[in-house]
Amino acid sequence: MFWVLLLLPAWAVAGLACAGLCLAAVRAAAADTPDATAGRRHELTLYEAAFLSGGPTRVVDLTLVSMARQRRLLLAHTGWATVVDPRGRDEMERSVIGAIGPQGQSRIAPVRAATAAADAVRGLADRLVGAGLAVPEGTGSTVAAGMRRVRVAALAVAALGVSALLLPGPTGTPRPVIALWFALPLALALSCLAIARFEVPPYARWASPAGQRLLAALARRMDDPGDERTSLARVAVRGIRAIGEPELRAAFTHRDQPWRE
């Protein structure tokens, strides 16, 4: 009956993780007060939509794509960025140009990392948090954090179940029955995770409930072909996979190859 000692922590891990996810969802709903719903009257800028959808890196990607389409920045499919016009039109563009450096050329990866940590992006995040549209950084009670804990719990339950089935010697209980007992907490974790993935949009890590509503409204307007702003809005909400130009998309997906003689 040693397998029971493995079953108890499996149930505990799954139960605590699912309960934490439910509590996080309740807190998120409770935080959606009338004051927080004032964000419904807010018209998102492209930078704000990018941050709420994908965080600081998405803001940088949007800025790079916008400058590249205006021919003020060259993004090569080899993963290099070259400045054409050194005059940034806003603080985000100036941060990108500053991250590229005085030589006017740099690899895209370090530019993305440096700009994502720049004051301009942090200021944008602070304004969105202050407006009740973004989730404060480091908040551990968010639904997204709860979903990560449920994923870990599901893996832990599976590992404990495999360990119980591999115990040497007689267990006193048929192994199919042992597997069934461990399948119950695993099913609890997976079903809870499936419901959360269906109910929670992928940008919940960054956007508060009020911000999620604004993003959903923006996403509905993106269905029309639209103009350049609509195209950039798709990049802001969906990321680099929404870039229509293959060479421009390749600039973000390029990976350095090992040196060959």
User: Is-contact 50 60, C-beta < 8 A?
Assistant: no
Local mean pLDDT, 10-residue blocks, the chain (261 residues): 87 93 76 51 87 93 94 91 93 95 92 94 93 74 80 95 85 86 94 82 72 85 73 90 88 58 31
**CA dist., res. 2 & res. 248, Å (int):** 58
- How high is the pLDDT of residue 29? 65
**Beta-bridge partners for 207:** 134
- How high is the pLDDT of residue 257? 35
- How high is the pLDDT of residue 258? 39
DSSP assignment letter at 44: -
Task: Reduce the DSSP state of residue 33 to 3 states and report it.
Answer: coil
- How high is the pLDDT of residue 204? 63
Backbone angles phi, psi at 135, to 5 degrees: -85, 130
**CA dist., res. 108 & res. 45, Å (int):** 24
- How high is the pLDDT of residue 69? 93
- How high is the pLDDT of residue 223? 65
Reported pTM:
0.70
- How high is the pLDDT of residue 225? 62
Query: Cα angle vertex 71, ends 65, 76, to 5°?
Result: 65
**CA dist., res. 240 & res. 89, Å (int):** 22
- The one-letter amino acid at 239: G
- How high is the pLDDT of residue 27? 73
- How high is the pLDDT of residue 200? 65
